[in-house]
Amino acid sequence: MSFESRQKKRRHKQTERKRRRTPESAGRWFLTLAKTPGKFSCCGDQFERGAEIVYRHEPREVRCQRCADRDPECRYRPSLRWERARRVPRAA
């Protein structure tokens, strides 16, 4: 397999990964880490970069964990990014 065909395959895989967000998954709530500082839409408190937030993409909304726990409609799960950040390194 030539270098160009491998590169083409990599580019194709990248675009496929970006298309994975379905309307169903865009509406789900996820516990994740904040990339940038901002303000919660529920209580108006501010958060810093790296804070734990509950987020959904469609319609875009950011909540604090306290408000998300109080709302019975907002059931969230940890995001892959959050799990990766919280993973305990294995002893070699």
Whether pLDDT at 44 is above 90: no
The full set of domains in the chain, from first to last, is 26-85 (3.30.60)
* Each residue's pLDDT tens digit, 73-89: 899 999 888 888 888 77
The whole-angstrom separation of Cα 56 and Cα 64 is: 12
- The runs of H, that is alpha helices, within the chain are 3-18, 23-26, 65-70, 80-86
pTM: 0.68
Percent of the chain at pLDDT > 90 equals 49
